[in-house]
Structure 1
Amino acid sequence: MHFTGTVWRPPYEADSLLLEVTAGCTHHKCKFCTLYDDIPFPFKMSPMQDITSDLLEIQTLYYHPMTSQANKLTGQPQREGFKRAFLTGANPFVLQSERLLKIAARIYEYVPTVKTIGCFARITDIKQKTEEELLALRDAGYTSLTIGMETGDTDALQFMNKGYTAQDILEQCKRLDAANISYAFFYLTGISGAGKGVFGATRTADICNQLHPKLIGANMLTIYPNSELYQEIQRGNWKEEREVEKYQELQVLIKRLNIPVQFAAMGASNAIPMYGSLPQDKEKLLMTLEHIITQIGEEQLREYRTHLRHL
């Protein structure tokens, strides 16, 4: 299989076929991001011959009759076929619709048990596609996307150089709703900066309440010395939230969300994993957050953040 650098995928894509169709990020300008620093180029599309080669490898390992016979002879368990494929890279949805449709067709040709496809997407990737293209991609199996919205605070988005505004999030995700393409949001707790977390959470809830995300996954902003944001802090241009303020921010976000949505804080950046369904688990999540704030406190939470070597 062809993989370049660290392979990032959402937790809920753990059982999906991971297929590299891009490497790196087309934007590569977010001040806080260091995820793709181990790649020696900003962005690259995988050649179709590499994609086909990887699919052939999967076909051989999982679907070839001789593989099944070999497993029986050696007492190995039979491998179940993949039901879903996840295209890796920071934002494969940036690819032209024609190429995405070609990739889908190739997946189904070699791995016929796959029924749906997902990938990471930037808001700007959606904007590039027409309504007709979005519908065609949905019909081809692109049923859900994972989007790093980060926040509904436009000032924070602009300072971090995300390349879009809160209004862009609203407009483009309404287009996904219309095309019946579901999506999950990644929310970056702490992105608004010290003293502004409540504002950022409020604006984010205001945006999300007008949309239909299937999940909001919260990650805690963790600042590494090789990030541009670290340099902004050294220059006195930005100040990080305290750890307790980040959890207070999540309290406000959960309180203000009034849509049915899954909420998760499961990644390594979160010192205390949380998961629940809103609105039914709202009080349970708020109680957990209150316990973290009052019983665990700043010192232990900061120690966790300080010793988190990598996301």
Structure 2
Amino acid sequence: MHYTGPVIRPPHEANSILLEVTVGCTHNGCRFCTFYHDTPYRIAPRNQIVNDLEEAKLNNPNATRIYAVGGDPFTLRTAKLVDMAQLIRQYFPDINIGMYARVDSMYNKSVADLKQLKKEGINDLLIGIESGDDNVLTQMEKGYTSQDIVRECKKLELAGIAYRVIFLGGLAGKGNGERNARNTAAILNQLHPSHMYMTSVAVQPESLLYQDVLAGRFVEASEYERIEETLLLIQQLKNPLVLLGQSVANPVNFIARLPEDYEALVSMLEKTLTQFTQRDENALRTYREGLINI
């Protein structure tokens, strides 16, 4: 199998065949992200994909899931994605195909296009919306607005394509978690993703956000604030949703299905906040670092 640069895949794709379809990210400008800084975007050569499919078929002939590797393979034109899916299904006729998708990768795809992609086996996309707050989206240079998120995800829903989203806690910075939670919930309450990964921003020295921290343009939210933000977001959510708060960057760790697990989850988060009423940042950080990733 051929891989260029970092191979990033979500936890639920752990048993999937990882197939390099694109390399890097078309945007590559989010201020917090360092995944693809040294990996220029390009499309994997067709002969490479064929060779990798032959190898995958040899080693895992009964696979039911392929994950297309790359920062946003869904940015490819509909015709290109259809061709890729049909090529994959020559080797795996009953395969389901997942991938990362940026919000703007859907701009050039109609609902009819999306329905065609669903028919070809492309389903269960992962979208890093990170936030539904326009101030945060602008500051982090995500490249789209909250209303873009709503419009494009509704197209997926009309086409019958399932999708998951990522929420990145702490991204609004110190003192802004409540606003971010409320605005993000307002966006999510208009949509119906199947799952949401809830993680927390970790400022990496190689990131543009780190330079913002050094310059005083961004002040990190405390551990306590991040738990408050998580709790408030969950309290505001109205639609059924599976929450996956399993990241080691999280100050708390949980898996919950809403609305069934709502009371237990809220109680756990409130208990955690009560346990650290003195807002001892060191104690909370020690608590988080001692958590076992579920």
For the criterion TM > 0.5, the same-fold answer is yes
Kept after mapping to 2: 8 A contact 1:222/1:305? no
What does the per-residue CA deviation read over 1:136-187, in whole Å, with 9 as the maximum and x for residues that have no partner?
1011111221000001100110010000000100111111111111111100
What does the per-residue CA deviation read over 1:266-308, in whole Å, with 9 as the maximum and x for residues that have no partner?
123224321010011111111222233333653133357799x
SS of 1:291's equivalent in the other structure is helix
SS of 2:15's equivalent in the other structure is coil
Structure 1: distance between partners of 2:7 and 2:184: 28
Structure 2: distance between partners of 1:305 and 1:285: 17
Tell me the equivalent position of 2:50. 52
Kept after mapping to 1: 8 A contact 2:248/2:289? no
Q: CA shift at 1:6, angstroms? A: 2.3
Change (3 A) 1:10 1:247: same
Tell me the equivalent position of 1:109. 90
What does the per-residue CA deviation read over 1:206-227, in whole Å, with 9 as the maximum and x for residues that have no partner?
1111111101111101001111
Change (3 A) 1:285 1:93: same
Which letter maps to 2:210? Y
Structure 2: distance between partners of 1:263 and 1:306: 21
Change (3 A) 1:232 1:306: farther
Which letter maps to 1:60? L
- Long gaps (5+) in structure 1: 64-80
Tell me the equivalent position of 2:81. 100
Tell me the equivalent position of 2:8. 8
Change (3 A) 1:134 1:86: same
Q: CA RMSD in A?
A: 1.7
**Could you tell me the TM-score, scaled by structure 2's length?**
0.93
Kept after mapping to 1: 8 A contact 2:227/2:251? no
Structure 2: distance between partners of 1:223 and 1:237: 13
Structure 1: distance between partners of 2:287 and 2:83: 44
Which letter maps to 1:11? P
**Which protein has the larger Cα radius of gyration, Structure 1 or Structure 2?**
1
Q: CA shift at 1:22, angstroms? A: 0.8
Kept after mapping to 2: 8 A contact 1:262/1:277? yes
Change (3 A) 1:138 1:113: closer
1:169 aligns with 2:149: yes
Tell me the equivalent position of 1:34. 34
Structure 1: distance between partners of 2:60 and 2:132: 43
Kept after mapping to 2: 8 A contact 1:31/1:227? yes
Match runs of 1:7-156 below 5 Å = 7-37=7-37, 40-63=38-61, 81-114=62-95, 116-156=96-136
What does the per-residue CA deviation read over 1:77-96, in whole Å, with 9 as the maximum and x for residues that have no partner?
xxxx2111111111000011
Structure 2: distance between partners of 1:128 and 1:91: 14
**Could you tell me the TM-score, scaled by structure 1's length?**
0.88
Structure 2: distance between partners of 1:127 and 1:190: 28
What does the per-residue CA deviation read over 1:68-117, in whole Å, with 9 as the maximum and x for residues that have no partner?
xxxxxxxxxxxxx2111111111000011111111111111112342x11
Which letter maps to 1:4? T
Give runs of ≥4 in structure 1 deviating > 6 Å. Answer: 304-307
Which letter maps to 1:195? G
